[in-house]
Amino acid sequence: MAVSSIDGLIPLKQFSPGSAEELSAIIQTANAAGQAVYPVGGQTMTGFGLPPTKPGVAVDLTGLNQVIDYPARDMTITVQAGIRIAELQAILAKENQELPVDVPLPDRATLGGSIAVNASGPRRFGYGTLRDYVIGISLMNDQGETFKAGGRVVKNVAGYDLMKLATGSLGTLGIITQVTLKVKPKAGAGEWLVLPCPEGDVATVIAILGLTRTRPVAVVLKADGPNREFTVGYEDNPPSVAWQVKQLREELPDSLRSRLGVLPPHEAEKYRVTQRDFPLLETSPVTFKANVVPAMTWEFVKRAGGLGPVEALFGNGIVFGHLPDVEAVPRLQAAAGECGGNLVLLRCPTAAKTLARVWGRPAGDLELMRAVKKNLDPQNLFNPGRFVGGI
């Protein structure tokens, strides 16, 4: 039996169920013993959230990785939640389909874990996030019983919208065991453009991209020290992509047009992987995710960019960044608030979590969140203390 650790809470005996029945037995045993249950998968974001408040057991869900149903013509797939994202994408690729969500470290990340943290990446600008693709979900409650919502059709919600509640809940409402997703056909063509940009021209580029006649699926600004670089991605059928690349060139002034480069396919793939995995790079001890009003993204980047490398997803108002320590966190959280949003820490030293506001500034919906938690997990069994407000 393996042993896990979450923010110094050790040892956590780790169980690896191979079926829903085995998972149910583990949950019932832990509940009867007054222990907590901590679901784990690829463990790419184990350090996300507050420290656990209760001893318990870890449950590795990677054994629940089967495809339940894949009617490719309906562009839906039902799978167990422990399937790894890369494996899911490989299955879909055989039918020339994909889940167009750029989950970091897909070779390790599981679908259930990705939903629990609402992972997304640069292409969210064109395709949306995971919560837009979950149309059916099954969870296991504190009694080891399965409850579910949704299915293979999109409009089927009554009562709690469990798909939306579970997405981003950090596994605190129950253990996700099975998911039905809508998927998309893979684009026939794609081009990724890179534009190195002096700081004085950034606002001009943002204005052009805001009014462009093209439809990029991703607009990313990488800022690291004095360096600024835009990446713009297009995906569609070949004539459409070719027209959009040509159109963007025409919309740029001469001084910027000469800097615009189209990446060869192998270089484009390297860029995409680097941008996708940027939030989980372990190059520094502190990583943040800010969500701000999209129009204020550049203002926030200017305040954060000098502290460490940042990656801004324009059009969505999402900024990821790495910091050498937590000293600047309060200032950046205040800046995010002034830019109409919030800032959470995806990773920081455990000892600093009692000082830094891991989940950012308190919001007015905390009591509502507590009520939902009490209704769905009255025994406070799943990931206790790790979510917003110590839920």
Q: Phi/psi class of residue 29: alpha, beta or left (left: φ > 0; alpha: ψ in -120 to 50)?
A: alpha
Report the pLDDT value the prediction gives residue 10, as an integer from 0 to 100: 63
Residue 283 has pLDDT above 90, yes or no: no
User: According to the model, what pLDDT value does residue 161 have?
Assistant: 80
Asked whether the beta carbons of 174 and 373 are under 8 A apart, the reply is: no
Beta pairing class for 9-15 and 56-60: parallel
297-304 and 329-338 are packed helices; what angle lies between their axes, rounded to 10 degrees? 160
Mean pLDDT of 379-386: 95
Q: What is the pLDDT of residue 11?
A: 57
Q: Is the pLDDT of residue 156 over 80?
A: no
Please give the structure tokens belonging to residue 344.
């959470």
| 23-35 average pLDDT score | 96
> With bands split at pLDDT 50, 70 and 90, how would you rate the model's confidence at 225?
confident
Residues above pLDDT 70, as percent of the chain: 96
Task: Decide if pLDDT at 89 tops 90.
Answer: yes
Q: What is the rounded average pLDDT of the residues 198-217?
A: 95
Question: What average pLDDT is seen over the chain?
Answer: 92
More confident residue, 107 or 362: 107
Domains annotated on the chain, with CATH: 2-62 (3.30.43.10), 67-185 (3.30.465.10), 189-277 (3.30.70.260), 281-354 (3.30.70)
Predicted pLDDT at 220: 97
Residue 51 CA neighbour count, 13 Å, CB half: 16
Give the pLDDT score at 173: 95
Whether the CB-CB separation of 141 and 135 falls below 8 Å is answered with no
pLDDT tens-digit readout, 290-309: 999 999 999 999 988 688 99
Q: What percent of the chain clears pLDDT 90, i.e. is strictly above it?
A: 83
- CB contact burial 313-352 (16+ within 10 A = b; e otherwise): bbbbbbbbbbbeebebbeebbebbeebebbbbbbbbeeeb
Q: For residues 100 and 80, what is the distance between their CA atoms, to the nearest angstrom?
A: 19
Query: Cis (ω within 30 of 0) for the bond into 238?
Result: no
Spatial separation of the C-alpha atoms in residues 254 and 268, rounded to whole Å = 24
Which residue is listed with tokens 């799943």?
382
pLDDT in tens, 31-61: 999 999 999 989 999 989 999 989 999 999 9
> Could you tell me if 253 and 320 are in contact, meaning their C-beta atoms sit under 8 angstroms apart?
no
Six-digit token string for 224 = 């690291």
